Structure 1
Amino acid sequence: MKMTGNTIFITGGTSGIGRALAEAFHKLGNKVIIAGRRKALLDEVSAANPGIDGIELNIADAADIERVATKLISEYPKLNVLINNAGIMPFDDPAGKIDDSVLQKIIETNLLGPIRLTSALVDHLKAQPDATIIHNTSVLAFVPLAGNAVYSSTKAALHSYSLSQRFALRDTNVKVQEIAPPWVDTDLVKKSGDPRAMPLDVFIEKTMAGLATEAPEVFVEEITALRDNPGLKEHQLVHDFNAALVADPIPV
């Protein structure tokens, strides 16, 4: 994607990867609008980065998505980049009963939210001279974490959706890129300084470099072995990946 001269809307922009991306694009001179559920956090980011605007959005609410999409098109007619970043990652146990309200919230936030928001904005984006849709998935889309089975499933589904959407938009001015982060040291799970987690600043630097290319999928080289299609060895790969984390669990 082109890295300057954009009007960019980022969901989940008040913390973690979303905020860091917002600040990185803002520093390059782009107009950045962030979304989040809490006005106080939106105001905090805007105060720290004059020029970044905030819009309250409940990404799990279809009606609220339509409201915000209408507002964006009206107030930011040059909007040409959508970054679907908002997500939640509660732990679950697929060997036991999963609370249905938690299940639905994860799916609404991580999968239906990005699809609904993209659907609401895609015609506007197609009318722009140069537009980009970025979906933030995860390495867990390719190698699921058993203790976050629903989260991993939503990211796998969003990856699949990205592939289809990229093909469907092939003859338009809209490009589709996917970010597939590794374990990054943010509050998505617990910011702990664990050496297995990539520092946020390192991840953002590498990801911004990747987004500046025409690569359909942007991932750091540290996850190449996990991202590489394991083929018929997939079951053993997933077993070994999860067994290692059982032996040395993620801090919660």
Structure 2
Amino acid sequence: MKTSGNTILITGATSGIGLALAERFEAAGNTVVVGGRRRDRLDAIVAEHPGMGAVELDVADPASIAAAFDEVTASHPDLNVVITMAGIMQPEDLHDPAHLDVAEATIATNLLGTIRTLTAFTPYLAAKPDGVVMTVSSGLAFVPLPMTPTYNATKAAVHSYTQSLRVQYADSPLQVIELAPPAVQTTLLGQQSDPSAMPLDEFVAETMQILADEPDVEEVLVERVLFLRNAEAEGRHASVLELLSGRH
């Protein structure tokens, strides 16, 4: 992936990693469109960053995805990159049947939202010589945090789906990248002040450096996520799961 000269849509970009990446990509010389559900947040971001575009987009709503596709490809026909950042993360008590509401919402946003967004945009991007889709999984795709079981499961599914997407589109110019963050200091699960989470600026800076250094990268893995990503291969899965279980 080239790091400048792109036209990039980032879903779920009104806060956290999505917004931070949008700012970094714009500063690097890209045209950026931020997607999100809240019009007031989108308007505030565009007011602060006049060069950015914005589109209302709820990835849990198929009609919203279809409308966003039409709007973005009409206003930015040079669109060549989509980053599927939108996601939710909530704790669940699996003893309580009420957790099913959280599970269904998480699947609708994190997994179906990713699949539906890719289904809408991927053929358009695959027709471009420099088309890129970047999915967003998590270090927890590889070792789960037991307090967020459905979140972990959706991210494991996104990892697997991304691998299949890459294989099926291997006959096209499309580059398929997976971004797998560790815990990052954002409002996701209230981690903005968690000293054990990676500072947001550090995560985004390292991510951008990886993309610059490795233009053909398939998985963007900052150093801090390797503890989770490589746990199975290094024979540490059980001990890391036990460690994460202490947060339940």
Shared fold per TM-score greater than 0.5: yes
Cα pair 1:144 1:238 within 8 Å, conserved: no
Cα pair 2:137 2:180 within 8 Å, conserved: yes
Partner of 1:215: 217
Partner of 1:250: none
Change (3 A) 1:232 1:53: closer
Two-structure CA RMSD over aligned residues (Å): 1.6
Tell me how far 1:98 sits from its aligned partner: 4.0
Cα pair 1:14 1:34 within 8 Å, conserved: yes
Equivalent pairs, count: 246
- Please tell me whether residue 64 in structure 1 is matched to residue 64 in structure 2: yes
Report the TM-score, using the length of structure 2 for normalisation. 0.94
Q: Which consecutive residues of structure 2, in runs of 5 or more, have no partner in the other structure?
A: none
Distance 1:193 1:117 in 2: 31
1:189 counterpart SS class: helix
Task: Give me the identity figure in percent.
Answer: 43
Once the two structures are superposed, the pairs formed by residues 186-225 of structure 1 within 5 Å of their partners are: 186-212=186-212, 213=214, 214-225=216-227
Cα pair 1:31 1:52 within 8 Å, conserved: yes
Tell me how far 1:19 sits from its aligned partner: 0.1
Regions of 4+ moved over 6 Å: none
Cα pair 1:230 1:237 within 8 Å, conserved: no
1:245 counterpart SS class: coil
Cα pair 1:4 1:30 within 8 Å, conserved: yes
Tell me how far 1:191 sits from its aligned partner: 4.1
Cα pair 2:146 2:245 within 8 Å, conserved: no
Change (3 A) 1:46 1:179: same
Partner of 1:42: 42
2:226 counterpart SS class: helix
Cα pair 2:184 2:197 within 8 Å, conserved: yes
Distance 2:234 2:192 in 1: 35
Please tell me the residue identity of whatever aligns with 2:197.
Answer: A
Partner of 2:4: 4
Tell me how far 1:127 sits from its aligned partner: 1.4
Distance 1:160 1:84 in 2: 15
Cα pair 2:231 2:237 within 8 Å, conserved: no
Relative to structure 2, which stretch is displaced further, 109-118 or 66-75?
66-75
Partner of 1:25: 25
Distance 2:69 2:5 in 1: 21
Tell me how far 1:232 sits from its aligned partner: 9.5
Distance 2:231 2:237 in 1: 12
Partner of 1:77: 77
Q: Which consecutive residues of structure 1, in runs of 5 or more, have no partner in the other structure?
A: 247-252
- Please tell me whether residue 243 in structure 1 is matched to residue 245 in structure 2: yes
Distance 1:235 1:202 in 2: 26
Change (3 A) 1:232 1:25: closer
Tell me how far 1:99 sits from its aligned partner: 3.3
1:197 counterpart SS class: coil
Cα pair 1:137 1:178 within 8 Å, conserved: yes
Cα pair 2:147 2:247 within 8 Å, conserved: no
Please tell me the residue identity of whatever aligns with 2:159.
Answer: H
Tell me how far 1:170 sits from its aligned partner: 1.3
Partner of 1:249: none
Tell me how far 1:104 sits from its aligned partner: 1.5
Partner of 1:185: 185
Change (3 A) 1:207 1:67: same
2:69 counterpart SS class: helix
Tell me how far 1:231 sits from its aligned partner: 5.1
Tell me how far 1:102 sits from its aligned partner: 2.2
Cα pair 1:93 1:146 within 8 Å, conserved: no
